[in-house]
Amino acid sequence: MNNLIVKSPPAAPELAVRKASSVPSWLGLAGAVMCVLWMLVAVFGPWLAPHPVGEVVSDNVFDSLSAAYPLGTDYLGRDMLSRILVGARFTVGLALVAAVLASGLGTSCALLSVVSPKWLDEVISRLMDAFISIPSKMLALIMVSAFGSSVTLLICTAVLSFTPGAFRIARSMAVNIEALEYVQVARTRGERRLYVACVEILPNMLNPVLADLGLRFGFIVLLLSGMSFLGLGVQPPDADLGSLVRENIGGLYQGAPAIVIPALAIGTLTIGVNLFIDRLSSRRSRRSGGH
């Protein structure tokens, strides 16, 4: 008998999560600049702060912008520039850690689900459906009531809230890729499930997963800021951007920079991430269409 040698065809083209919108290059560049700026602030901000974050530097509360206090002072007379520089580390750092964990866990569960027997796929999918049905704020209230508020709890809450969404997107791509001929050829060769998941499926869904990671980062920033605004997030004496908005809410009717600046910071961070991710998706879509 002749031995039949079957070779895997080249990897299939990457699957897009969605049809990318056409984002002008200058908007994508602006988004990239905002992302880089806030990442730098998160890394170097505490060393650039002109005053200790908790020090009262002025007798006047809700001071306006001045040479001495470029972003004014807060409700206790503390320097807002220092508090923004330090608070950004909590917002960006916690959101980045939670986004990476949620995306990684969701993608791993999706790959396991696709290459596993049908009964295990059903168990994982139904478990994810159960978690995705719980509103993130309600989950945060349950977690805080049960375990108290801490940085670790914030990360766990964000991961539990956003892993199911990452799982759904990753699984939908993995199912489509798993049905392609070259994956079936790998199965016919007798390749193990781990090999099929990590070598045949994962590389062809990596870019869309990374794009989804960026979007989840923006959503988690909003979640953590909302939790801090409700008093469930970062606790004093530490502060993130959301808690800076909450503690200075008394300056709203005065138009104090102490409440406007942290709100703008949250806005520029999330908008910048979305513009940057949309621009990358647009470029990737045009390159795929040109092949």
Contacts of 232 (CB under 8 A, 6+ apart): 140, 141, 144, 149
CA dihedral for 48, 50, 56, 62, sign (positive or negative): negative
Which of 216, 205, 211 has the alpha carbon at shortest distance from 280?
211
Note the pTM of the prediction, 2 decimals. 0.84
Q: Give the pLDDT confidence score for residue 156 in this predicted structure.
A: 93
**CA–CA gap between residue 20 and residue 289 (Å, rounded):** 12
For residue 42, give the DSSP letter.
H
**Residue 56 phi, psi dihedral angles, 5° rounding:** -80, 115
Q: Give the pLDDT confidence score for residue 8 in this predicted structure.
A: 46
Q: Give the pLDDT confidence score for residue 137 in this predicted structure.
A: 83
Q: Give the pLDDT confidence score for residue 290 in this predicted structure.
A: 52
Residue bearing tokens 């608070």: 87
Q: Give the pLDDT confidence score for residue 269 in this predicted structure.
A: 94
**CA–CA gap between residue 192 and residue 5 (Å, rounded):** 18
Looking at the chain, list the stretches that DSSP marks H as alpha helix, in order from N- to C-terminal side.
25-48, 80-115, 118-132, 136-147, 151-178, 181-188, 193-195, 206-229, 241-247, 257-290
Q: Give the pLDDT confidence score for residue 126 in this predicted structure.
A: 93
Along the 291 residues of the chain, how does pLDDT read in single tens digits?
444 444 444 444 444 444 444 567 788 889 889 999 999 999 999 999 999 988 999 888 998 898 989 999 999 999 999 999 999 999 999 999 999 999 999 999 999 999 888 899 999 999 999 988 888 888 888 888 888 888 899 999 999 999 999 999 999 999 998 888 888 888 888 778 888 888 888 888 888 888 899 889 999 999 999 999 988 888 888 889 999 999 999 888 887 889 999 999 999 999 999 888 888 776 666 665 554
| CB burial string 104-116: b at 16+ within 10 A, e below | ebbbbbbbbbbbe
287, exposed or middle or buried, with CB in 10 Å at 0-12, 13-18, 19+?
exposed
Q: Give the pLDDT confidence score for residue 195 in this predicted structure.
A: 85
**CA–CA gap between residue 278 and residue 285 (Å, rounded):** 10
CATH homologous superfamily of 25-281 equals MetI-like (1.10.3720.10)
Q: Give the pLDDT confidence score for residue 222 in this predicted structure.
A: 93
**CA–CA gap between residue 65 and residue 232 (Å, rounded):** 30
**DSSP-assigned letters across all residues of 72-130:** -B-TTSBBHHHHHHHHHHHHHHHHHHHHHHHHHHHHHHHHHHHHS-HHHHHHHHHHHHH
Which of 263, 267, 234 has the alpha carbon at shortest distance from 84?
263
Residue bearing tokens 């969605």: 18
Q: Give the pLDDT confidence score for residue 194 in this predicted structure.
A: 84
**CA–CA gap between residue 148 and residue 220 (Å, rounded):** 20
* Structural contact between residues 236 and 122, judged by C-beta atoms closer than 8 angstroms: no
Domain boundaries, the chain: 25-281
Q: Give the pLDDT confidence score for residue 254 in this predicted structure.
A: 80
Q: How many CB atoms are located within 10 Å of the residue 36 CB? A: 12
Collapsing DSSP to helix, strand or coil, 231 comes out as coil
